[in-house]
Amino acid sequence: NAGVTQTPKFRILKIGQSMTLQCTQDMNHNYMYWYRQDPGMGLKLIYYSVGAGITDKGEVPNGYNVSRSTTEDFPLRLELAAPSQTSVYFCASRLDSPLHFGNGTRLTVT
């Protein structure tokens, strides 16, 4: 199993640009999550999904959108990038326990 795969690893965006952070898992996990981690800080939940077709907001959803059309994929969309969205983004998945994380996407918005 590849586990949780995130692409791209790094990205620089200009203010106002849009992009999609990709996340895919090959473990047939129902639950998937997007977290962001600002420098020196803890992880904050952006969105999560309990299965295909079902998504819900987390702690910091503003400026982001998600979709879950398949069990495997959970992309995170940034529509109008802002400097406050500069962060490292982690995708995670689980069946019951524990949580499996990807290696993150480091995003800089300038």
Partner 1 sequence: DAKTTQPPSMDCAEGRAANLPCNHSTISGNEYVYWYRQIHSQGPQYIIHGLKNNETNEMASLIITEDRKSSTLILPHATLRDTAVYYCIVRVYGGGRRALTFGSGTRLQVQP
Binding site for partner 1 (CB under 8 A): 4, 31, 33, 35, 42-43, 45, 48, 50, 56, 58, 88, 90, 92, 94, 96-104, 106
Contact by Cβ (8 Å): 25, 32: yes
CB of 74 to partner 1, least distance (A): 13
Q: Give the residue with the Cβ less far from partner 1, 14 or 97.
A: 97
Distance between CA 102 and CA 93 in Å, rounded?
Answer: 9
Among candidate residues 96, 78, 84, 80, the one with its CA nearest the CA of residue 31: 96
CB of 16 to partner 1, least distance (A): 27
